[in-house]
Amino acid sequence: MMDFEDTLKRQARILENLSDIPDMVSQGYKKGVLETEELIHALMFTMYKNSSIREKQEKYDMATLLLYRLLEMIMQRRLSHYGLFASKMDYTNMKIPESSQSDLKGLAHSEMLNGLRGKVLNIKSKVFGRGGSRFLPEQVALLDGYIILLALDDEIKR
């Protein structure tokens, strides 16, 4: 077993991180899970591994569900870097990180929001052949979240 000691210690640390999540969620601190790198990474890698196991068991519906949820988590984590949270998108608190290459960085807040609206509308018109609503969504699903990230020129697209 000594050959596996390092691996087992890493796995124990990951499981230890995951044990904090239920308390945080029950206390209404879901944003904390997204914003704490060790927690969200442990959760994401556990979910990915679980989906791989389900695939090998030929439980494709569960594997797909887990991978879809993983994509949602990645989107939610990236949006949190901008102060945005998928279940309640408060654009008044949106911030563009200094490390961002977005052309919205440095603009006044109202100009930033107008620029984001225009970019989202442009992307939706290219993807769907029509722009849709000129309003930014209050809650975002998977596709809307990634469209907003693209409009923000998030590093995930690179």
Residue-wise pLDDT tens digits, 127-146:
988 767 788 999 999 999 99
**For the residues of 37-97, what is the DSSP string, one character each?**
HHHHHHHHHHHHHHHHHHHHTT-HHHHHHHHHHHHHHHHHHHHHTTT-BTTB--GGG----
Nearest-angstrom CA–CA distance, 88 and 97: 20
Nearest-angstrom CA–CA distance, 57 and 54: 5
Residue whose tokens read 């050959």: 3
Query: Domain locations in the chain?
Result: 1-80, 86-158
pLDDT of residue 29: 61
pLDDT of residue 9: 85
For the chain, residues with pLDDT lower than 50 are: none
